[in-house]
Structure 1
């Protein structure tokens, strides 16, 4: 009986062992070519971080294998990158397509700037490689699909370090970069005074040579950003970590701004960086853009009519908005007047909250909206719990506020 009692246990152990072996055998072995490509990109990344030009060039194809001018271009790109203070740089190969001694690879580039990025910038890359004497070498490394180009792919990078900022520019005089650093250094404490200190308190500003350079960084058409002085990159938060943000300047549009306008724009964009962790898919654009404008104009001394002239004209004509601006109203490629009304509408709504409920409640309202996982019900719930009102009553109060402040 004792012997028979042990048999099920033995069988069970055998089944577990066989299951384990099956599980191990079921995992596909790494593709040797993918491993080889990953290894050469690992060496390339190490060379970038160490500033080892010779080691970097040793990972690249030479002569005819590199293609016309590509070897020289790779060396130039390494040199252009030297001014960027990197804390991390790595590639993750996601696909390899090989034909004989030629291969194409898709990879994710991840990098962080020392002292500024808590999370990496990610960029999809398409690489071409050649194999010589059994080893793979990089022939080209380009943005994948509609991904934006990196700043150093547009020219030699100049860096200016401010008290709260790092300004990286291409094709710009050093004096212009210092001006942007001064604007950013004034913006950071202004934003902290309004929003609070729960953000890193520093920004990275990218200044390309032209509007076309800005569009290239964003992977977009230049026409989409004509007249837009600056934008902030970075996905919305809500994932438990804050992605790396960049303020990207349109130098062509910025030249048209006066001193106040230039400062307001940098402060507006810096506000987006500060609020990123609390700006989620639940946050409507009237709130995120309106709040950024509220911080930008908070200490400017400008009157509501000076800040919101388009909305003021509408109010003067008896055209009071029946609803807060929709996300679609903020489209850059849309009608300029409609875009101005959207921004001014968001700003006046935030101004009203600060005036009637106080600045602390405005900040709490912003955070409460962003704390929701989705848009539906987020504003309604925050209006009720933070401001003690309803969407209908808030909109009614906003309309009355516009009549009072813009008349």
Structure 2
């Protein structure tokens, strides 16, 4: 599924089938003077993170004489965050509501990971504050409603660097995270060869402890991602200056994959990172997911039937899909078989284009669809301009291709 436009977050994932066997606030808005006081507290908090000063960070928390336990929690949070290679960290207060000596601030946390983010990641936060001895202190700092957690809120972060990747994990061994860097490092040149050089060629992979941790990072129910090996988050149509996308792994599902499946997953997700600036509201999911699968399987020697078992089953029974997969077919919380067939159908559509018109034309077609101003007519226009065909003719060819390769 995908957020559309400049601000929304984009989330895309890879299904396992075929690879195995976000606080309401009360009170009136506070005058600018109080808001400025709170901003200064958060500025000190941000400086402490940038300087690596646990003492200064904890000093922004509620004094132990006012509320016991907060400073101990602040020390834990700081230690969890300490290993993340940060290039920038700041807060911007967007709203402050006060009731006596207590208040709630809405804020944007902006941070950059060194060597990967060209622009800041922006995370919506809600901070509870307490006033004591004439000063404001942070009592709690948590994700805003419907916003995802940050990895360090789930435990101590371990960072492992690869040649082309940075893997950040919680509850994972160094050896395990090293395995992710090896796969991601192999995925980058594979994707570059297929897509080209219009991206950084570097990826950030987040590995939480469990499916629940993955869901926490996404700010969504865990049930919607059960059986999904990984997703990629980012800004749809993001420019070259956009912050780096994050590949978020579901260790529960990823862990049951073999070596081949793990590599396909990381290559698929890395393709989403590479193609982000060319992916827009005009891009249907059959194309974005199908293209990522096409790159993932490219050069592996897997046949259509081997990589598309669910679709092969229904086609062999005489049920060839009448149309290309719709966006609604890619919902993670629906029927697993239907979801698998949507992915497989998109992959085979891209495979058809690569075989019939060539790999270069497939890339050109992807870019042409994403460059369209709106969804309506995007595929039809690109089919005519790049491939010299119509949607009706292409659909006929795709259906025949399914019958030939899977029947």
Confirm or deny a common fold (TM above 0.5): yes
Residue 384 of structure 1, CA deviation:
0.6
Is 1:253 aligned to 2:237, yes or no?
no
8 A contact 2:118–2:244 mirrored in 1: yes
Asked if 2 retains the 8 angstrom alpha-carbon contact of 1:368 and 1:382, the reply is: yes
In the other structure, the counterpart of 2:161 is 161
- Counting only pairs closer than 5 Å after superposition, residues 88-167 of structure 1 correspond to structure 2 as 88-167=88-167
Spell out, residue by residue over 1:188-215, the C-alpha distance to the aligned partner (whole angstroms, 9 max, x if none).
Answer: 1110010001100000000111111111
Match of 1:15 in 2: none
Residue 184 of structure 2: aligned partner = 184
Partner SS, residue 229 of structure 1: strand
The separation in 1 between residues aligned to 2:146 and 2:122, in whole angstroms, is 14
What whole-Å deviation, never above 9, does each CA across 1:6-29 have from its counterpart, x for those lacking one?
xxxxxxxxxxxxxxxxxxxxxxx9
Deviation of residue 131 (structure 1)? 1.8
Distance change >3 Å, CA 183–CA 239, structure 1 → 2? closer
How far off is 1:238 after superposition? 5.5
* Separation of aligned partners in 2, 1:146 and 1:403: 44
In 2: Cα distance, 1:188 partner to 1:396 partner: 34
Distance 1:248 1:240, change over 3 A: closer
How do 1:323-362 residues align onto structure 2 when only pairs under 5 Å count?
323-362=323-362
Contact persistence 1:241–1:277 (CA under 8 A): no
Higher share of residues assigned helix: 1
> Separation in 1 of the partners of 2:87 and 2:115?
8
Count of residues paired in the alignment: 378
SS at match of 1:140: strand
- The structure with more radius of gyration: 1
Q: Displacement, 1:373? A: 2.1
CA shift for structure 1 position 239? 6.3
Q: Is the 8 A contact 1:242 1:276 kept in 2?
A: no
Q: d(CA) in 1 for partners of 2:68 and 2:382? A: 59
Are 1:59 and 2:60 an aligned pair?
yes
In 2, Cα distance between the equivalents of 1:364 and 1:216?
A: 36
Tell me the equivalent position of 1:47. Answer: 48
Residues in 1 aligned to 2:165 and 2:362: alpha-carbon distance in whole angstroms: 27
Q: What are the equivalent positions in structure 2 for 1:222-237 lying under 5 Å apart? A: 222-237=222-237
1:237–1:243: 8 Å Cα contact kept in structure 2? no
Can you list the C-alpha shifts for 1:235-288, whole angstroms capped at 9, x where unaligned? Answer: 311567534311001111111101100000010000000001111010000000
Question: What TM-score do the two structures reach when normalised by structure 2?
Answer: 0.91
Would you say the 8 A contact 2:97–2:103 is kept in 1? yes
Question: Where does 1:375-394 land on structure 2 (aligned, <5 Å)?
Answer: 375-394=375-394
What whole-Å deviation, never above 9, does each CA across 1:277-327 have from its counterpart, x for those lacking one? 111010000000000000000021111110011111222112111100000
Residue 238 to residue 142, structure 1, CA distance change in 2 (3 Å):
closer
Structure with bigger RCO (C-alpha 8 Å, 6+ apart) = 2
After superposition, the CA RMSD in angstroms is 1.4
The 3 A distance-change label for structure 1 pair 238 and 152 is closer
TM-score, structure 1 as length reference: 0.91
Residue in 2 that maps onto 1:218:
218
Match of 1:275 in 2: 275
CA distance in 2: counterparts of 1:397 and 1:208, whole angstroms: 42
- Equivalence map 1:3-18=2 (5 Å): none
> How far is the alpha carbon of 1:147 from its aligned partner?
1.1
Contact 1:229–1:253 (Cα < 8 Å) also in 2: yes
Runs of 4+ in structure 1 deviating by more than 4 angstroms, as ranges, are 238-241
**3-state SS of the aligned residue for 1:48?**
helix
Q: Secondary structure at the match of 1:233?
A: strand
Does the CA-based 8 Å contact 1:330-1:342 persist in structure 2? yes
1: distance between equivalents of 2:372 and 2:134?
54
Supply the distance in 2 between the matched residues of 1:200 and 1:384 (Cα, whole angstroms). Answer: 31
Deviation at 1:134, TM superposition (A): 2.0
Distance 1:161 1:179 in 2: 11
Q: Give the structure 1 partner of residue 3 of structure 2.
A: none
3-state SS of 1:266 partner? helix
The answer on whether the counterparts of 2:61 and 2:70 sit within 8 Å (CA) in structure 1 is: no
1:109-164: CA deviation from partner (whole Å, max 9, x where unpaired): 11110000122211111111122222211111011112111110110000100000
